[in-house]
Chains A and B, each alone.
Chain A
Amino acid sequence: MAHPKPAHHSATVDERSLFPSRPRTKHCGTGVEVPDPFGPCRREAAVSCSHKPSLDVHRVRPWGQVPQIVLTQIVCHGMLMTGGAKRPCCVPPDWHSELTRLHRGYPMTKSLHIRVGDVVGELHLWSEMAPKTIERLESSLPLDGSLVHCRWSGDACFTELDPELFKGVGLESAVRSLYPLTVAIRPPSGLLNSAELLISYGVAEYRLPTGQAQVTPIGEFIGDLSKFRDTLAGTALRGATTIGLRASASGPS
């Protein structure tokens, strides 16, 4: 069966509109242009594919010290896609997990073991974005608690943390939106003497009774994403579940 001609042009146009001022370079032999000076994209993974020579996943880090967007591209016999887009014909069923893992791509230097209900995985920490918050969190380990669904913030769950640990830390790389399967901490501030660790599984925005508020994003869940998402979503119907965080002896994988 003949494979379709590479559909690289549309993706190239998209990137140009996103980053019009960046110099560009060709790379990886795919004919795709990506922003430089942060270097050419590199091959991050090869996902098994019924076609040979298989499917390559490339990660492109277009922005500088704190990347805000990482484009993940699938190149498979001419099919090029960005992360989260429609599925090409020969991508295996677990493509979304693989893509999601590569898709966000904030710099990860540490990881923790995380367990929610009976789902275990890794919490990859974005130490460059929240160094003080992560340091305090690590000092509080091991952590065990009850994970409850949010009342004001949408599709997210939270557990209470010891506010004394996070006093004086303040917000780091503060955000309002809680993207699915990212983990964030809201430190105590002003009249709010409590601290929370939040995990989103869908459409969520950090809110208080007084309105929108901000949190410090600290990392993302890596593991069985669909099972993790189902467990988090299940708290809306079935009530609270448990959460545990442990230091990772082996470091990030």
Chain B
Amino acid sequence: MNTRISVQLGDVGATLTLFDELAPLAAHKLLGVLPIDAELRHVRWSGETGYFLLASLAEPGAQLENAVTFYPRGSLIYRPEHGEFAFTYGQAQARDNVKLADHACLLGALEENAEPFLELVRKTRTEGRQPLRLSGS
């Protein structure tokens, strides 16, 4: 059974389903550090996505679970090499200053209240970073 957690971005709340069966290790690691308070900011290389970093979950060389290169809209993406978690509101791909196409773990998907949440992620590009909180539901 997939685990659901709560996410709060600015004044917009939503629920997120973690793909426990497809990415059990990554999901377990994330659940182990909840609750999380961070700041979501817009990416510079990967497209229409906002991200935050968790240094404690940075694990260079870790095996990727449920690997994707293109990020589905509304998804939660985990890049273990950076300890990076990203919410995607549009067209996006795992990229950085070196690689034009990399892979990342598709860890979860927004469910309830996804659209207002993604709209606020989109606004981080023009209005700046937003406070983010992830907690067990």
Residues of A within 8 A of B (CB): 146, 148-155, 203, 205, 207, 209, 211-212, 236-240
19 additional contacts, CB 8 Å, given A209-B47, A209-B91?
A: A148-B125, A149-B125, A151-B42, A151-B43, A152-B47, A153-B44, A207-B45, A207-B95, A207-B100, A211-B100, A236-B42, A236-B44, A237-B128, A237-B129, A238-B128, A239-B124, A239-B125, A239-B127, A240-B126
Residue of B nearest to A152 (CB): B47
Residues of B within 8 A of A (CB): 41-48, 91, 93, 95, 97, 100, 124-129
Residues on B with C-beta less than 8 A from A207 are 45, 95, 100
Residues on A with C-beta less than 8 A from B44 are 149-151, 153-155, 236
Residue of B nearest to A151 (CB): B47
Residue of A nearest to B100 (CB): A211
Residues on A with C-beta less than 8 A from B43 are 151
Residues on A with C-beta less than 8 A from B91 are 209
Min CB–CB distance A207 → chain B (angstroms): 7
For the complex of A and B, list the 7 residue pairs with the smallest distance between their C-beta atoms, beginning with the closest: A239-B128, A238-B128, A239-B127, A240-B126, A203-B97, A239-B126, A209-B91
Min CB–CB distance B115 → chain A (angstroms): 20
A236 to B124, CA, bound (A): 9
Residues on B with C-beta less than 8 A from A203 are 97
Residues on B with C-beta less than 8 A from A239 are 124-128
Min CB–CB distance A201 → chain B (angstroms): 11
- 7 residue pairs of the A-B complex, CB under 8 angstroms, read A151-B43, A152-B95, A203-B97, A207-B45, A236-B41, A236-B42, A239-B126
